[in-house]
Structure 1
Amino acid sequence: MTATVRLWLSPGRIRGEGTTPDYRFSLANERTFLAWLRTALALIGGGFAVVQFLPELHRSFRTALAALLLASGALCALRAVHHWVRVERAMRRGEDLPLSRFPAVLTAGVVLIAAGTLVAVATGWASR
């Protein structure tokens, strides 16, 4: 894991492994990385939006919801770069692409956050 984290900061080291894959595959890997970053930014934006635009929700719920969204966004960004490195290394080595449970975990988390927010808004759990 530590070696992989080092590659986040110096991706040029990846070139020392295996052979150069078809550039189309590397560019597709980069587009996937950027899609994950957009997801991370959306989660972070959602965290700020909860605090700004749902002031009628109970303060503790609003704070917890914002913290969950912000933490999910940070985790998604970290996972994006980690997955990018793992896929790039696998392509250079001619290995199968790595599988990940993260999309399912992220989906479950977003569904739970959305359901909790829906219940809070529908029941009018206000700060009053």
Structure 2
Amino acid sequence: MSTEENKPTSNPSDHLANERTFLAWIRTSVAIMGFGFVVVKFALFIKQISLVLNTKQTVLPGKGYSTQIGILLVAIGAFMALYSYLRYRNTEKQLLNKAYKPSQLPSLLLTLAIVIVGALLVIYLIPGL
């Protein structure tokens, strides 16, 4: 029996599914970064509109946190891209070794981060708070 026969083999569809999952994570991270960019630029747009209209107050009253929230969204998106690559490589190694173990904690932490940023946006958008 040769060493080639002893090597664990894996199903190509598992590797393709892993790649599709990686690409879905990347698309999500790009969307989150894009949304963060829009949030930051919207705050800048509001400031410019108030200058053009020569008003002392902004057109839409706000608390001024949209820049920080937008930057936080971009950072979460960038972290998600890095995490997705690391998760892809780890899963690939596990598939090659026929020892796949799903991980839930990193996904939970990332979900919680998105929920917290969403809650911050909701609080920011509620008038009078």
TM-score bracket, shorter-length normalisation: 0.7 to 0.9
Listed as ranges, the matches of 1:70-109 within 5 Å are 70-109=74-113
Contact 1:86/1:98 (8 A) holds in 2 = no
Instruction: Give the partner amino acid of 1:36.
Output: W
Instruction: Give the partner amino acid of 1:117.
Output: L
User: Comparing 75-84 with 91-100, which one deviates more in the overlay?
Assistant: 91-100
Instruction: Give the partner amino acid of 2:16.
Output: L
Aligned partner of 1:29 in structure 2 is: 18
Deviation at 1:27, TM superposition (A): 0.3
Q: Bigger radius of gyration, 1 or 2?
A: 2
Identity of aligned residues (%): 33
Deviation at 1:31, TM superposition (A): 0.3
The RMSD of aligned alpha carbons is 1.8
Q: Which runs of 4+ in 1 moved over 3 A?
A: 54-59
SS of residue in 1 equivalent to 2:83: helix
Listed as ranges, the matches of 1:1-128 within 5 Å are 19-54=8-43, 55=46, 56=60, 57-59=62-64, 61-123=65-127
Deviation at 1:124, TM superposition (A): 5.2
Question: What is the rounded CA distance, in whole Å, between the counterparts of 2:19 and 2:26 in structure 1?
Answer: 11
Question: What is the rounded CA distance, in whole Å, between the counterparts of 1:111 and 1:25 in structure 2?
Answer: 30
Question: What is the rounded CA distance, in whole Å, between the counterparts of 1:58 and 1:101 in structure 2?
Answer: 34
Structure 2: which 5+ residue stretches go unaligned? 1-6, 47-59
Contact 2:36/2:74 (8 A) holds in 1 = yes
Structure 1: which 5+ residue stretches go unaligned? 1-17
Contact 2:26/2:80 (8 A) holds in 1 = yes
Contact 1:90/1:98 (8 A) holds in 2 = no
Instruction: Give the partner amino acid of 2:88.
Output: W
User: How many aligned positions are there?
Assistant: 107
Higher helix share: 1
SS of residue in 2 equivalent to 1:94: coil
Deviation at 1:100, TM superposition (A): 3.7
Question: What is the rounded CA distance, in whole Å, between the counterparts of 1:35 and 1:101 in structure 2?
Answer: 19
Contact 2:37/2:71 (8 A) holds in 1 = no
Aligned partner of 1:12 in structure 2 is: none
